[in-house]
Amino acid sequence: MTRIIHISKLWFRGGYYAITLFGVVFTCEELSPTEINHERIHAAQQRELLYIPFYIWYVLEWFLLLLKYHNWTKAYFHIRFEQEAYRHQEDIGYLKRRKHYKYH
C-alpha cells in the first residue's frame, strides 16, 4: 500500500497537486481513486528502478524532451513514466498484472 501524506501546498509551480517521492505520495488535495492509481503506478516504477536511477532517468528524459519540444508541459506528457501512468490510471487492477520495466 502506498502511503499518502497531505501537505498544505506543493513547493513547485504549475497545476500539479501530487508528487510521489520514494514511494510516498505527497498531495495538497484529496485524490480520486484514478489519481491515487496514477501515483501508485509511479511508486511501482520507482521501486523497480531502486528510486535514484528512476529520478535520474526521469529528469534526463524530461530535459531531452524539453530540448526536442521547447515546451515544459509537452515534454512532461511525453516522459515514458508519465505515459504509462496516464494510460493506465483508470484501470485500478493494472498494478496486479503490470509487467516490470514496461514503460509504454
DSSP string, the chain: --EEEE-S--SS-SS--EEEETTEEEESSPPPHHHHHHHHHHHHHHHHTTSHHHHHHHHHHHHHHHHHHS-HHHHHHHSHHHHHHHHHTT-TTHHHHPPTT---
Percent of the chain clearing pLDDT 70 (strictly above): 93
Question: Could you tell me the pLDDT band of residue 62, with boundaries at 50, 70 and 90?
Answer: very high
- Residue 12, pLDDT > 70, answer no
User: How far, CA to CA in Å, does 84 sit from each of 14, 24, 26?
Assistant: 21, 18, 20
pTM: 0.91
Give tens-digit pLDDT for 48-57.
Answer: 999 999 999 9
Question: Could you tell me the pLDDT band of residue 9, with boundaries at 50, 70 and 90?
Answer: confident
**Average pLDDT, stretch 14-42?**
92
Rg value, the chain, Cα: 13
- Residue 91, pLDDT > 70, answer yes
Higher-scoring residue by pLDDT: 8, 61: 61
